[in-house]
Structures are given as C-alpha cells and as structure tokens.
Structure 1
Amino acid sequence: MHESTGSQRDAASTIFNLPNYRVIDAVDLPDGGRRVVIASTVPPGCPSCGVLATKVHSRRSQQVRDVPVAGAAVVVWAKRRWFCLEPACARGTFAEATEQIPRYARSTTRLRDQVVSAVIRSGRAASEVARAHGVSWWLVQAALSAAAVVLPDVDDVRVRRLGVDEHRYRSVRWFRTDEGAWRRFEPWMT
C-alpha cells in the first residue's frame, strides 16, 4: 500500500484557507453564524534572538476579524505564549505571530488587503467598504494609510497621459458675442 509522506491538511483547514493555520474546532451558532477556532502551524521563533521555542508558557483565545468564508464566521485564534529558552536572550516569553496575523494585530492580512482592494478598485468611500465588510472605518483607513506609505513617490512616476485638468492654469473666462450671447473663451480657439 502506498501512503504519502507529506503533511496533509484536513478538509476544514483547506476550506478555511488561511496559510500556516489549521482549524481545530468549528461550531454552528444559534444565530446562524459559525465560530471557527484556529491554531498556528508555524514553528515559534523568538523575535529577539530567533531561537525556536519548545515550551509553552500559557494559552489564550484571541478573536480575529477575517474575510467571510462561506458566510459570516467568528474566528478565534488559540494563541500560545512561549518561553525563550536562550539564556543570553533578555526576552523571557513571547507570543505567537505570523505573516497573516502579525504582532498586536486583531485582523488578518488578507482582510486588510481585501478592504484596500475594495476601496481602490471600486472607488468607494472607506466608510462604505467598512460597512460592507462588517469592520470599523478605522481599520479600513489604517489599511489604506499603510498601503499608501509603500507607494512610489509621485515625482518619480512617469506621466503616461496628460489631461485638461493637468494643464489648465486659469479659471474659465466668458465673453459676449456680437449677437449678445455669452460664450466660453478657450485659448486654443482660432
């Protein structure tokens, strides 16, 4: 009999599709929603010295905002705090953090990317996107501000197309024709 030797993700983790996390529990709530409990699969390394930890200090549950997967869900991260076993390291303990949920974050990176994309691609206001995704305006605005910081400098970007707004330098002027009608004065009229 042939069996694969690679690590196989369970069906719930595959459907939830949050990289480096696995679903450890899922419960249907009375209001029709779901509560999904996830745990990190990334080996925990100390942020100060980089030594991999093996001893758990404590566990806590942290509610995390995430994109709705097959309907609204309350996502709870079974977060662990670890001992740093390196004697020379000043940090005694540290909490788990991953690329999808960095330190101090209460929302996933994919949710932040999705709200930024919704504002940029659809041209909707931050408050409208926040309402549609069930998050606060502050989260959308913070994600937009973080995305704007990594944009290139405006002066370094090459102009591809020049429009009327970019070269008109004075307000519209009007003049009266010989017949007495008002007409716009356009400097390029001949």
Structure 2
Amino acid sequence: MLNDATLLLDLDGVSVVRVERLADGRRRVHLVTADEAARACPACGVRHPVKGSAATRPRDLPYGEAGLEFRWHKRRWCCREQVRSRRSFTEQVPQIPARARIATRLRAWAARRVRDAGSTVIQAARDLRLSWRP
C-alpha cells in the first residue's frame, strides 16, 4: 500500500493507513506492515499463520513543529516448525527492528550527536523535543 504519506515518511516496509490530530496538536500516524518478508519467522524463515496482533509506538526523528507519534499495528505470528528457537514473533522491518523503541535513523542521529557534538543522550533527546516514556 504505497501512498504519498508513506513516501513522505520514508520508512521502508511500513505503510500509512491514516493520520489523526491529537488534542495537543501532534499527529498520530497509524502504520501497518507493507513488507511481505516480515511474515517469515526470523529463526526458520518459514511463513506461518497469524496468532494475534500487537501495537507499538516506535519513536523517530521529528517531522514538523508539532511532531508525529507513530502507532504501528502489526501482526503476531506463530512458528510451528519442529525445531524452533521461538514460538511467536511480531513483524519487523530493517528501520524498526523487533523490540526496538526507536527507529534506526533516530538511533544513528543520537549516536552522531553524542559522538560529534559531545552531547549527553539526554541533551540529544531534549534537542529533538522527544518525550521518552518507559
């Protein structure tokens, strides 16, 4: 599902399904997985049936003055292979790996900021106006 909003975000492997404006002016962007390879088990490489769903809130570089909040609606899959190291897994894409709270480009920006500008991680986060939640 490639659309203009998806191209604007430049997050390969996910698609924008809708955007809503929050009371504080930020926009919540609802994403779904567009990469069919994300269905395959990372351990065995086989495609399996859907087990359920999950929603995550990965952080990314800010976009616009009010910022964006992502809500990634992904599917949970059940691995049925005899020799398996995991029983279930969720979809992942290279820019937002499994169990990651932040996109790889945000992680790279923060690392460069700390390395090159001598900032602390907290200072880099404040510069991005991010609200870090556990």
Q: How high is the TM-score relative to the length of structure 2?
A: 0.83
Name the counterpart of 2:62: 68
1:118 touches 1:129 (CA, 8 Å); kept in 2?
yes
Name the counterpart of 1:116: 111
Deviations 1:111-158 (A, max 9, x none): 10111122223233333112112255xxxxxxxxxxxxxxxxxxxxxx
Going from structure 1 to structure 2, the CA distance change for 1:112 and 1:135 (only over 3 Å counts) comes to farther
1:132 aligns with one of 108, 121, 127: 127
Name the counterpart of 1:22: 15
CA RMSD across the alignment: 2.1
- Counterparts of 1:18-167 in structure 2, within 5 Å, are 18-42=11-35, 43=37, 44-53=39-48, 55-71=49-65, 72-86=67-81, 88-90=82-84, 91-133=86-128, 134=130, 136=132
Q: How high is the TM-score relative to the length of structure 1?
A: 0.60
Which blocks of at least 5 consecutive residues in structure 2 are unaligned? none
Matched AA of 2:88 = T
Matched AA of 1:79 = K
Matched AA of 1:61 = A
Give the Cα separation in 2 of the matches to 1:93 and 1:80: 10
1:51 touches 1:85 (CA, 8 Å); kept in 2?
no
1:48 touches 1:89 (CA, 8 Å); kept in 2?
no
Of structures 1 and 2, the larger Rg is shown by: 1
2:12 touches 2:93 (CA, 8 Å); kept in 1?
no
- Structure with the bigger RCO (C-alpha within 8 Å, sep 6+) is 2
Percent sequence identity over aligned pairs: 32
Give the Cα separation in 2 of the matches to 1:123 and 1:106: 23
SS for the counterpart of 2:57 is strand
Matched AA of 1:40 = T
Give the Cα separation in 2 of the matches to 1:92 and 1:109: 26
SS for the counterpart of 2:110 is helix
Paired residue total = 128
